[in-house]
Amino acid sequence: MGDLVVEYTGPRLTVRDAEAMYENEPRTYLFGLSGGQYVIDGDGVAAFINHSCDPNCEVDEMDGRVVITAIRDIQAGEELTYDYNLYDGELDDLAPCSCGAPNCRGTMYSEEEMAKRVKLLKQRNQERTTKEQRARTRP
């Protein structure tokens, strides 16, 4: 527990450069760094660690490096996982999770992000309903 598993490696890009580079090709190995201005374009083993709502690893950012450490004993042959806690994606993208954990949220987004999304979707639906009501009442 607490042991270093692997470092998330790859070129560091600004978010703007990554968006331009992968405009027509979705890239799933971009790891957002704290501050939100840079990502790591994963090209090592860590880029293939899957999400789980009941993970055996966690991610830490230390001195500009992203490391994945064990949060419990991991058995030989057991899949390495961490909670992606995604944020700031497209509003209609649900990022479904099918990890199968008893506590599965059904999405790879963090609980905070999902609360924000629910609020925004309710707001969007309310605006749409108001607009439709106004359209029906116009002569």
Write the CATH number for 118: 2.170.270.10
**Residue 88: its pLDDT value, please?**
74
**Residue 139: its pLDDT value, please?**
66
**Residue 100: its pLDDT value, please?**
94
| Residue 13: domain span | 4-137
pTM for this one? Answer: 0.79
Copy the structure tokens of residue 103: 């506590």
For residue 80, give the nearest of 106, 114, 57 by alpha carbon.
Answer: 57
CA distances from 90 to 14, 29, 59, 68, 103 (A): 19, 17, 23, 26, 24
**Residue 121: its pLDDT value, please?**
84
Overall domain count for the chain: 1
- Distance CA(27)–CA(105), nearest Å, equals 23
Rounded to 5 degrees, φ, ψ at 47 are -65, -15
Cβ atoms within 10 Å, residue 16: 9
Q: Which parts of the chain register pLDDT below 50?
A: none
Give SS3 for 70.
strand
